[in-house]
Structure 1
Amino acid sequence: MKFAKKYFPTAVIILLLFRVTAVIGQNDPDFFYNGDLLPDAPELAERGEYAVGVQTLELIHENQPDIANFSKEQQPRYDRPLTVEVWYPAEGDAQSETTYNDYIGVANDEKRPLSPFSFKGRAERNASPKKDEETYPLVIVSHGYLGSRYLMTYLTENLASKGYVVVAIHHTESTFEDPGKFSSTLYHRPIDDLFVLNEMEKRGKKDAGGFLAGMVDAEHTALIGYSMGGYGALNAAGAGFSSAFGGFFGQMTGGSDLIMERSLAKPSYSTSIDSRIKAVVAFAPWGMARGVWDNEGLANLKLPVFLVAGDQDDISGYEKGIKAVYDGAVNANRYILTYINARHNVAPNPPPAESFQKGMHLDEYLRYAEPAWDQRRINNINQHFVTAFLGIHLKGIDYSTYLDLPVDALEETWKGFKPRTSIGLELRHTGANN
């Protein structure tokens, strides 16, 4: 007891100082940028050899169904605007930084008023692209509902530093500042992905002009999606929607059956599966627990798929949701990485400093945070596994030993993880039947 009385106050002070430093480090952009490595980050989380440039493009997808304004009486069409953010290998300094401008809150919500915030990233705005003789594989990133093209900058910057052109879509009628009807998100997500793929291929040709000219290898494309982004990516890659989901969508939109164009009921859907898409990463994909897919639709998914989930996901569901996608995609070479005790937020950046402010609605913090996990830790683990998975399927790098692991991370320290740090994780792998 004398030892405790003598040294306990000092120990408490040290612990408190450590905690304060950790909190400051999480929210001070000069101390820790999204995607930076924690001391226990796994091996492949480290950034690659390239400096990173970033630019914004404004695209127009002409003559699209204006789903948000559909009714029994009319089905209007419009030219659909899409903003995309492009990260790419660049000339210059790998330590360059940029500022991203985003929002917390939701437009037209009195309880959660829309408010701008900014944060720094490790990329250079409008940097000169690094144009080697070889082109770079394409990665298309799709956020959740509601969301932002800046929701996963820890991953988009990281992949660009490893020799990918990474394009994050800011989905119209599905963002914090533009929260449209959910029916618009349901219809447009896979179509937005495919449209952006076509646009990036055109802009990446050698004679195209513009900063992407000669850079993009669209024949080796991956789709990455979070929540509704995962829903869209799976459908774009071959998981046809169920007839039951078509009925649900029709009720939402006054009888429209347009969503069934993306189902196996339409022969044109199967022929639309794009051979340029070589792999899919789906973080907490929404839909399975709501009947979006049936066994036939999932069986039509034949590309390599890496699913990421929390086993306590109360938005997409786990056993009847994300795990059911894994079980049902019998013709896909598939993985599912599970964060034990995590809920839905297994993909985004850490919570912004503004979400910590006194009086801020709790949901601004919970939009990003995981109750049982450090979000920065999740980010590093995601960087590691996505690097391995895409490296295999887009670049032909033999990263198989980073994925050929015991299911339970506690059975033995996983390849690439520091001793005693592969904990709280499961990784399952099942090869394709065909």
Structure 2
Amino acid sequence: MATANFVGTDRKEELLDELYEEAKRPGYTDEMEIAEHVITKQVERLVAYEQAIYKLRLGHRRAEQERKRATDELDKIQKELKTTPAVRGYVVKYEKKSDKVLVSVDGGNRIIHVIPRPHRFPRDEIVPGKEVDLNPQSYYILELLDSYKYKAEKFVVNGSSNVTYEAIGGLEAVKEKLREHTELQLDPAISEEMTEAGVEIQNALLLVGPPGTGKTMLAEAVANEAGVPFIGVNAPELVEKWLGTTSANIRDLYELARKKAPCIVFMDEIDGLALKRRTDGGETDAGDEVRTAMLQLCAELDGFNRRGEPIITIFTSNRDDRVDDAILSRSKQIEVPVPDRHAKLKIYKIKTQKYNLNEDIDFNRIVDLTPENCTGRDITNICTEIWLRKTKDAKRMGKKVGELSITTADFECIIEDIIGTFSQRVIC
């Protein structure tokens, strides 16, 4: 009966016939001897089947154990990645003989030997310049990343500028201060005289004012008027969670600036990188990585002062009370206020100079209706909204938008719709 568990009924009968024939060949004549021989052979075959099944189960068990070990290893690595602040570095050299890797960490300030996890990473992928994440305790390589060493160009949001001072309404006093500083810093003759006299001018400017007052446009205009490259970055984007990477990003940024010098380096929202430290010994929202990066930024600024390099750094912030004193002491602060009446009038005229304006349009009336805390960006948005509404009207009437004139009443309607948002705004 046991044989039927392994072979079909027809095959079982064939096997029994073969066993009977085999038993007769040695000279068995007694039916009992033949039956014993057949049973013995069946038992041997059953034992062979059981051994085969045992080996299969053993192989399956070993495969399951290997799978569990691999799963545990993966879980361990994932846990390390989630709970441990990994150290990011770059491969300098792979030593094939010792199976060790030279890795540059701390932004290039330190070279260490690390060990790849056995059989986890193909060795031909561990090449110089490859970016890796390390466990800070064991210095095992946790992950090989697809990217290579960061380049400053990754963070540049504006590599050129065509903005002029004339395109910015008002802010004449601010423009004059920027012109004076630019001439002192970027003029080779003046810079040489200052260096010989031992004069160190602050090569960083901090533009402070509410959002939308034109701080970014002013920085772009400085570069355009001076005829130098403009390297614009959003400061918080330089900050990363990997140890030493933010400082490396800042170094890379200023290496790029040195190659393009003379130039303007523009950092928007600097308080996202240089948040003021507390004086009572408590912790701020900024972590160690951000504080280290801020010190690196200070070192770069100090280096420019000593060397007299023609590089101007322009920071912006909505609130200077959030910026650390280390940056404030190295920067000349210039306030960029909300536009006054004269500036508002000029901005309206600049933004609508290509519009089809009605002959009797009254910009003085429009400025009177404009909220006091309305910024240059707000005025731009008002003008844009008028154009969009005229576009809808033209489409409904089957005309081109340029065929419809814009009147004072159009501005009054828009300003009335949005004036509630300005009454709740606080000028900071």
**Same fold by TM (over 0.5)?**
no
Indicate the structure with greater strand content: 1
So what's the TM-score if we normalise by structure 1?
A: 0.27
Question: In terms of Rg, which structure is larger?
Answer: 2
So what's the TM-score if we normalise by structure 2?
A: 0.27
Indicate the structure with greater helix content: 2
